[in-house]
Amino acid sequence: MKTFSINDRVSLVPDKPFLIAGPCVLESDDVNMRVAEGVAELAEKYGFTYIFKASFDKANRTSLSSYRGSGMEEGLRRLRMIGERFNLPTLTDIHESWQALAAAEAVDILQIPAFLCRQTDLLLAAGKTGKAVNIKKAQFLSAADMANVIKKVESTGNEKIMLTERGTMFGYNNLVVDFRNVVDMGAFGYPVVMDATHSTQRPGSIGNASGGDPRYAPYLAQAAALCGASGFFFEVHPDPSCALSDATTMIRLDEFGAVLQKVRCAFDLARL
C-alpha cells in the first residue's frame, strides 16, 4: 500500500488501520461535536487513525423531500471548525467540479460519490487540488473497472488516492458485497476502504428513502480487514432513529467501541 500524507500531521501507513466516520450529513453542532469527540476517543483507544466525515450536501437523496444539508458555505465552515477543535483530518463529498477548490480549502480529503466515480471533470478537478481523493466504487462497476477511474486522477499528478468498496447492486433495492473487489482494488497499490454501513443499504426500499440493516456492518468490516482493507468507513450517530440521513444504516455511538475492537483484531490477524 502506498504511504502518503493527508495533511501536515497525519499520514496513512500500511501497518495502522484508519477510520472514516461521522454522521452521514452535517447535523447540529451538538451532534457533530459529540460524534467527532466520541469517535476520536475510541479511535485512539483501539489504534486507528481517525478521519471525521460528514457531507455538506447530500445531492443524491432518494426523495426531493429528503434532508440534504446545511449548504456548502455553512457546511465547510462547520467542517473546518471540527477539524481545528479536535485536531482531526476531515473528509466531505463533492458532487460538481466547481466545488473542488472551495472544499479543498476546508477539508483534507475530497470524496467522490459512487454514482459519480466515472465523471471525468469531477475527478480531474479533485485531483488538481492536490488533496487526497477517496473514490467510491460505483455499485455497477467491478474492481477492474476502477483502473480507468484511477488514471483520471493520476493524470493530474496526484497519487494520493483511496478506493472504497460500498457494495454491488443485487437485483433491485438490494446490495451485496463481493470481497474479491477488496482484494482486486488492493492490487492497484492504493489504500482500500470498506464502507461497512452504506453496504448494508437497501436502496429505495421504503419508497421515499433507502432502508438497510446495520447489524451486518461489523461483519463486513471484519471480513474486509481479512481481505486486506486498511480503511473502514462507518456512519455513526448518538441516536440513529433521529439521524437526518441514512438513519437505517447508522451505528450507535455507544455501541461503536465494541465494533472497532473486533475490526482491529481482524486487521491484526490478517497481518500475522
Per-residue model confidence (pLDDT) at position 212: 82
pLDDT at 205 over 70: no
Reduced to 3 states (helix: H, G, I; strand: E, B; else coil), residue 43 is helix
Sign of torsion over alpha carbons 53, 7, 223, 266: negative
| pLDDT band at residue 30 under the 50/70/90 scheme | very high
Summarize the confidence of residues 233-237 as an average pLDDT: 98
pTM reported for the whole predicted model? 0.96
Which residue in this structure is represented by grid cell 460528514?
A: 54
User: In whole angstroms, what is the distance from residue 170 CA to residue 147 CA?
Assistant: 23
Give dist(CA 132, CA 49) in Å, integer: 15
pLDDT tens across 110-130, in order?
999 999 999 999 999 999 999
Instruction: Reply yes or no on whether the pLDDT at 52 is more than 90.
Output: yes
- Summarised one tens digit per residue, pLDDT across range 160-188 is 999 999 999 999 999 999 999 999 999 99
